[in-house]
Structures are given as structure tokens and as C-alpha cells.
Amino acid sequence: EAVVLEIDTAAPLHPNNPHYAVLRAKGAELDLINSGFDGIRIRKGEKYDLSFFSRIQGNKQGALQIQLRDRSGRPLAQAAAKVAPGEWTKQHLTLQAVEDADSACLSIQTVAPGVYALDMISLFPQKTFKNRPNGLRADLAQAIADLHPRFMRFPGGCLAHGDGVHNIYNWKETIGTLESRKPQRNLWGYHQTKGLGYYEFFQFCEDIQAEPVPVIAAGVCCQNSRGGGQQGVAMCDMDAFIRDILDLVEYANGDASSKWGRMRAEAGHPEPFHLKYIGIGNEDQITDAFEERFTMIYKALKAKHPEITVIGTAGPFNEGTDYEEGWEIVDRLQVPMVDEHYYQTPGWFLNNQHFYDSYDRQGAKVYLGEYAAHLPGRPNNLEVALAEAAYMTSLERNGDVVSMASYAPLLAKEGHTQWNPDLIYFNNREVKPTVNYYVQQLFGRNAGDEYLPGTVKLSSPSEDIAKRVPVSAVKDRKTGDLILKLVNILPTATRTQVRLNGIEVGNARAVKTVLSGALEGTDLKPRTSDCEVGREFTCELPAYSLTVIRIKIKSVY
């Protein structure tokens, strides 16, 4: 053959990334082509930053032509690069598209004979979220920002475990130069390059004004890991494991003169990230191995960083042995917050709107870290979304216990997901928010900061009806707004008389937003209009709906 492609490990760019491509071009032309993830979407006039490391054997200079091509092979953007012999050299090029394409590919072509080595080939649009280098896809990141989240948990669920005790996710392997970050397989079978690492997570949280909530394994891997289930980090290695967690606080909050604070500063962020929370563990089986290691981690964090709120875990369900024993550990150690997870039917959420009413008001706060309503077939429809909305009114009512809550999972690429339902689906062309997303967005944009107690009186005394028309009232002290959230999970419209006792209304016109439709509806969006309000007013709640009314008020007395 005239040319050969090899994957070599003899002289890698960095030991954390031992594999690189070698092109043996005996003639002039050899193409190395990457078709992207379902193709590469490019847009006319947009600029794309390409970077890669290269070198060539011998003492002669090599040459490359780089192109973005459409399906037929036509070049839509191109640039040229020289390749020097000797050490690895990083190349930076800009490609500008002359046409649109939804399924372009990237071609790196040799235009002179030689043995070329290539590694860390990266193509990014210049227009990332907030124009960050190595940044996030702008429309996806904006969809998350539009939820108005108060916090963001990362790296997410079981990712914190890795896949086995020797593969536990290590935040230190996700920072620094991209070529130094260590890729890994995770529990779900995905390959992670770690191009999205802890620095980028912290930066994104800052960009959307959300509190960062990193989650670290509790010294054990997941009970569902390959090769033996839950295993604990060897006790002789626990001091180092705990040191890594303490170093994370220094990386996030330390002065730029400290060891890890300096690394943050060198990455481009001299000011601290103001980390306040750390989760330890995720849906763990509560075993002796877990308890021993969690206790060591918690005591070390509490002693060194009492300003950090540690979030424990109570297993993967809202009942059972792990839940009970997880809470026993939290209570005994006086852990300030505990992470609860549960996925249930819409009926469960409707019937358990008093779930947190009986929780100890003086005990640990709850972070409801993962929840969603599931029907057979796992659809994202209005039925499950309204069940979640009904339950969320009870979370607001119990805001003195439930400090934080987050729907899960967050993102899913069409055709490549192992789990449904998810909050936001997407492909290379568009982002597809679900009806559940709009429920979360309505609550996020209208969260308020003070719960106002109220009563609901029904024309029918039926308990079945009562749990299908839950209501929440909160005040937003920043804007001076009173926010009413009214859910109607009945097949008919409900005429509602609202009486605002002890509240002086400041404006007779209010903003009303309604999400409604058929229960099986999936492509539904909220509609906003004005409505007339006063100390007493009438409001009609459509069948199967969530209604949010923002009222300007003068005072509460």
C-alpha cells in the first residue's frame, strides 16, 4: 500500500493520553477524516477554531491541508499548515464556512510525503456560550440558563463514581491543559475526554449565576460497577482521597498564591469561585464500607472547612434500608443536608404532596437531587409534568426543609440516550425543550424567596379533587411581586375565587402564564397574557393546566 494509518504509543504528547495517530504518506495525499457526532453542523460565514499537535519524522518540513467538507466531498472551509520535525508543536487555525452544512466532516490531508504524527485534534465554533474558549454549545447552555437555576450539580449522578474503585472520577484529572486531562469510561458506558472539566463547570455556574454543587464519591464506587459491585478505596489510600477533596475547596476558593488556587488563576480565573456546597456520595448502598469512609471524609471536611455545607446521601429510593440507614448516619453525624432521589408514577407524586410535612424541622435539610414522574413507556407529556408541578408546590410549602431540588436527567441527544424521560432533548440542529422543562422554567423564573401560607376551599369536599388543585403563594422580595402558582389536574376548567388577605395590591394588572393542553400532549408551551387582579379577583384555571400569576404588591400586613 502507498500509505498507512497507525495508532502509536511510543512517544505520546502526555502520559495521560498515550494514543496518537501516525500517517505514513509515501505519496503526496493521505486524508485523516472525522465525521463528527452525527456529522458536523456548520453555518455560512461562521468561524471555527481548529487546534492540534503535530510533528514529522526526519528533518524535512511537512505540509497539511485542512478542510471542512460536505457529504459529496466539496470543501466548505479550508486552511493550510506546516508541520515541523522534532518535538510536538501545537497548531492554531481558523476555518470560515462558505456554505451551510448539517453533516460536514473534518479532513486533515497530507500534501507532501512523510511520517506525520497528530494528536488532540479539536474543532470548536468561535460562538460558544459567552464566547468561552473550550466553551459550551451556545444554544444548549442557554436553554439551561433560561431555567434560572439557583445551583448546578456536577459532574452528575453516577459519573462521580466512574466505573469501579480504580476508576473513580478524579476532579484533578479534569483541569489543566486539555492534553493533560485523563479520559475515562463511566458507569453508563460513555467515553469522557474530560474536555468538559471542573474549571468549565465552575465557570458555567458563574456565567448563569448558579451555585456550584460538585459531587464526589464517598470513598466507594457504585454498587452497579463492573467487576464486583460496591468496593471501598483501600484504607491506606483514604488520606490521599480526602486530601483531593480538601484540595478541591482550595482550587475553588483559595487565594491565587495557594497551590491549587494558583492553578485556577493560571487557567484564567484569579478570583475564587465561592464554593459553598460539596456532595459526598450518590445513591450509594449504605454499607459498613460506605459508612466508615463517608464518616472519615465528613469529619475531615468539617474540621478543615466548616464553612462548606456537606451534602450526604440516602440511597437511590425514598424508602427502604438504604434510605433509613443513610438518614441514621446523617442524623448521628449531624450532616447539614442529605441528597434524596426517587422516580415515581404521577399517582405517587399526587398522593404524596405531604411527604415532607412530617420531616424534623430541626434536622438535616433535604436536597431532592433527582426526581421525575414516570409513566409506562416513559413519555414527556403534560400528565407527568403536571404531577411534578403539583409536587413542586409542596416543595415550596416545605422550603424550610427542602433547600434544593433538581429534575433529572437534564440532557439527552436524540438517538443516543439510554434513559427516558429527560428534560432537554437535542440534535445537531436544534434544542427541544420538553413540557417538563417548561414546568421547571416557570418555577425557576417565579421561585420567590418567602412562602406565604394560604388555604384552599373547594365546593366539593373530595380529597381526590383537593390533591388535583394544589396552590402555592410566594413573595419575591427583590421585585416586590406576589407569585401564585395554581395547578388544575381536572378534566374541566375550574373557576377560582382568590382572596389576598393582608396584602395590598400595587397594580390592578398582573402577568398570567398558563401551560395547558391534553394530558398526552408533548409539544406544549406556556402562553403569557395580562389579567386583572385585586384584593379579591376571579381566575379560571383551564383543564389540565399550570397557571402562574405575578402580582405587584405594596405591602404584606
Which DSSP helix (H) or strand (E) runs through 347?
helix 346-351
* Neighbour-count burial for 107-121, b at 16+ CB within 10 Å, e otherwise: bbbbebbbbbbbbbb
Residue 398 and residue 527 in one domain = no
Residue 118 and residue 176 in one domain = no
% residues pLDDT > 90 (the chain): 92
* Domain final residue pick, 445, 469, 490: 445
- pLDDT tens column, 292-301: 999 999 999 9
**What pLDDT is recorded for position 3?**
53
Residue 149 and residue 265 in one domain = yes
Split at pLDDT 50, 70, 90, the class of 157 is confident
Q: Which residues are catalytic?
A: 283
**Can you read off the three cell numbers belonging to residue 310?**
456537606
**What pLDDT is recorded for position 462?**
86
**What pLDDT is recorded for position 4?**
85
**What pLDDT is recorded for position 456?**
86
- CA geometry: angle 142, 148, 152, nearest 5 deg: 85
**What pLDDT is recorded for position 458?**
85
Residue 206 and residue 173 in one domain = yes
Rounded Cα distance, 405 and 472, in Å: 16
Q: For the domain that residue 531 is a member of, what is the CATH number?
A: 2.60.40.1180
Residue 510 and residue 458 in one domain = yes
Residue 357 and residue 281 in one domain = yes
- pLDDT tens column, 167-193: 999 999 999 999 999 999 888 888 899
- pLDDT tens column, 258-288: 999 999 999 999 999 999 999 999 999 999 9
Split at pLDDT 50, 70, 90, the class of 134 is very high
Domain count, the chain: 3
Taking 70 as the threshold, does the pLDDT of residue 388 lie above it? yes
- pLDDT tens column, 285-325: 999 999 999 999 999 999 999 999 999 999 999 999 999 99
Q: For the domain that residue 29 is a member of, what is the CATH number?
A: 2.60.120.260
Rounded Cα distance, 491 and 542, in Å: 9
Sheet strands (E) in 225-362:
277-280, 309-313, 337-344
Rounded Cα distance, 67 and 89, in Å: 20
State pTM to two decimals: 0.96
Split at pLDDT 50, 70, 90, the class of 244 is very high
Taking 80 as the threshold, does the pLDDT of residue 67 lie above it? yes
Name the packing angle between helices 198-207 and 138-145 (round to 10°): 60
Once rounded to an integer, what is the mean pLDDT over residues 142-154? Answer: 98
Q: For the domain that residue 137 is a member of, what is the CATH number?
A: 3.20.20.80
Nearest CA-CA partner of 371 in 425, 316, 446, 414: 316
Residue 90 and residue 239 in one domain = no
Residue 499 and residue 358 in one domain = no
Task: Report whether 435 contacts 381 (CB < 8 A).
Answer: yes
Residue 368 and residue 410 in one domain = yes
Once rounded to an integer, what is the mean pLDDT over residues 417-442? Answer: 97
Residue 461 and residue 399 in one domain = no
Rounded Cα distance, 393 and 201, in Å: 29
Residue 84 and residue 182 in one domain = no
**What pLDDT is recorded for position 557?**
60
* Domain final residue pick, 106, 125, 144: 125
Residue 30 and residue 49 in one domain = yes
- pLDDT tens column, 68-120: 999 999 999 999 999 999 999 999 999 999 999 999 999 999 999 999 999 99
Split at pLDDT 50, 70, 90, the class of 555 is confident
Rounded Cα distance, 525 and 429, in Å: 20
Taking 70 as the threshold, does the pLDDT of residue 1 lie above it? no
* Domain final residue pick, 98, 125, 152: 125
Q: How many CB atoms lie within 10 A of CB 516?
A: 19
Q: How many CA atoms lie within 13 A of 370 on its CB side?
A: 21
**What pLDDT is recorded for position 556?**
67
- The domain of 24 spans 3-125
**What pLDDT is recorded for position 466?**
92
- pLDDT tens column, 3-57: 589 999 999 999 999 999 999 998 768 899 999 999 999 999 999 999 999 999 9
